[in-house]
Amino acid sequence: MEELILVRYGEVALKGGNRSFFINRLVRNISNALNGIEHRIIKDRGRILVVLPEGSLKLAEAVNRLKKVFGIVSFSRVVKVEKDLHVIKQKALEMVEKQQPDTFKVESRRADKAFPIKSPEICRQVGAYILENSENIRVDVHQPELLINIEIREGAYIFAGQEKGSGGLPTGTGGRGLLLLSGGIDSPVAGWMVAKRGVELEAVHFHSFPFTSERAKQKVIDIAEVLAGYIGGIRLHMVSLTDIQGSINRHCPAEQSTILTRRFMMRIAERIAEETKALALVTGESLGQVASQTLESIYVTDTSVGLPVFRPLLGMDKVEIIDRAREIDTYELSIQPYEDCCTLFLPEHPETRPKLEKILQSESHLEVEPLIRQAVETREILSL
Ligand code: ATP
Ligand code: MG
C-alpha cells in the first residue's frame, strides 16, 4: 500500500477570495520541500494528501521536512480504504489489534456529504464492531489511550493522532523582506518569525574581512542554510564594511562608531532591498538588550532609511529567544565563537543615548554615498 500523509492547513482556509492562491502556493512549497523524494500531492476538500510509493524508505525524512513547511497546522500518517463501512470497521479493528490499548474512542468526520452514513452513526457502528470483536477493551470518551479518526473524503482515511506542523502562512504569500543576518542568536529567529507569516526572505550579512575570518563567514552561511530549509531557499548578500569602519574610525568620535556603523548597514540594506524588490528590513533587535538597542539608538538608526524596519523580537526576553533558536535549530550554530564585525570595532564606551544632530554632524565628515555605493557594488551573492 502507498504511504499517505494527510496535511491540515488552518489559517489559509480563512483567506476568502485568496484561498486558492494560498493553497496552490502551499502545495508548491510542499513539493519543493520534498525535492528528491518521490511523491505526488492531491488536494482533497480542505486537506492536502501527500502520497509516497509503497514501502518508501523516505517516509521519516518526508515527515521531518513537512514539519518545517509554513502554513501546515498538523499532519497525520493515514491509511486509505474504500468508502465502505464494513471495510472501515475491519481496518479500525486491525489498528486496535496492533496497538492493544485498554481504552479507545472513535471520532469521525464526513467531508463527503454524498456518503450516506452520518458521522455520529459511523462512530457508533465502528465502536460497536470493535467492542464485539476484541476483549479487555472499553470506550473512554475523555482520555482514550487510542483515538481512532475516520475521515470520509475522496476515500475513507483512518488514522490515530496527529503531529504539529510549523503553523503560520505559506512562504511567498506575504511579499518579500530583507533580513539583516549576523552570526548571532537573534537575527535568525527574527527571520524565521517573519518568514512564518508568509514573507519570502533574502538576507544580507556584513563582514570586515580580513579582520573577520573565513570561519565567521561560513558560520553565517550555515545559519542561512538552516533558514533556507524552512522557506525553500534564500539568497545571501555578503557585504564588506571594512572601508566604512576604517573611515568612521578615522573621522568620528569612538563612542559613536556603533551607531554610525548601524546607519550604514541600514542604508546598504535598503539599497539591496530596492534591487531585490523587498518591502521591509528585518532585524533581530530586542528593546534594551545592548547599547545600540535603546529606544534612542533605534530612533537614530531608523531615520537613515525610508523602508519599514521589522523587529519581531522587540518584546521578547533573551531566554525566550534562545528557546526559539533551539527549536528552529540555529542555536548551536549561533553560539560558535567566531568574531563579528560589530564586536570587533566595539568602542569601550558606546553611546547609549545618541543625539541625531550630532550623528548627522559626524556623518558630514564622511563620504557617505560613495562608501555605500562601493559596498553595494562589491558585494558577493550566494544562493542557498
Ligand atoms: P544578533 O544575535 O542577531 O547578532 P545582537 O543581540 O548581537 O543580535 P546587535 O549586534 O546589536 O544585536 O545587532 C542587532 C541586529 O542588527 C541583529 O539582530 C541583526 O539583524 C543586525 N546585525 C548586526 N550585525 C550584523 C551583521 N554583521 N550583518 C548583518 N546584520 C547584522
Ligand atoms: Mg550580534
pLDDT score of 30: 96
Closest listed ligand to the CA of 219: 1
Evaluate: CB of 285 within 6 angstroms of ligand 1: yes
Closest listed ligand to the CA of 318: 1
- d(Cα 363, Cα 251) in Å, to the nearest integer? 9
Alpha helices (H) along 210-353: 214-231, 242-251, 257-276, 295-302, 318-327, 331-334, 341-344
- Domains of the chain, by residue range, sit at 3-164, 176-383
Evaluate: CB of 290 within 6 angstroms of ligand 1: yes
pLDDT score of 116: 94
**Beta pairing partners, 152:** 110, 156
pLDDT score of 192: 97
pLDDT score of 299: 93
- d(Cα 57, Cα 266) in Å, to the nearest integer? 47
Evaluate: CB of 184 within 6 angstroms of ligand 1: yes
Residue 197 grid cell = 507569516
- d(Cα 57, Cα 289) in Å, to the nearest integer? 46
pLDDT score of 289: 65
- pLDDT in 10s for each residue of the chain, 384 residues: 888 999 999 765 556 677 888 899 999 999 999 999 999 999 988 899 999 998 888 889 999 999 999 999 999 999 999 999 999 999 999 999 999 999 999 999 999 999 999 999 999 999 999 999 999 999 999 999 999 999 999 899 999 988 999 999 999 998 999 999 999 999 999 999 999 999 999 999 999 988 888 899 999 999 999 999 999 999 999 999 999 999 999 999 999 999 999 999 999 999 999 999 999 999 999 887 666 688 899 999 999 999 999 999 998 999 999 999 999 999 999 999 877 766 666 777 878 888 999 999 999 999 999 999 999 999 999 999
Residues measured by CB to lie within 5 Å of ligand 2, the ion: 182, 184
- d(Cα 314, Cα 81) in Å, to the nearest integer? 50
CATH class belonging to 3-164? alpha beta
Burial of 51 (0-12, 13-18, 19+ CB in 10 A): middle
In this chain, the answer to whether the domains covering 3-164 and 176-383 adopt an identical fold is no
The dihedral sign for the CA sequence 173, 174, 176, 179: negative
- Specify the residue with its C-alpha closest to ligand 1, atom 4: 184
DSSP 8-state secondary structure symbol assigned to residue 70: T
- Specify the residue with its C-alpha closest to ligand 1, atom 18: 284
CA angle 340, 345, 349 (to 5 degrees): 120
Evaluate: CB of 266 within 6 angstroms of ligand 1: no
289 Cβ neighbours under 8 A, 6+ residues apart: 186, 318
* Domain 176-383: assigned CATH number: 3.40.50.620
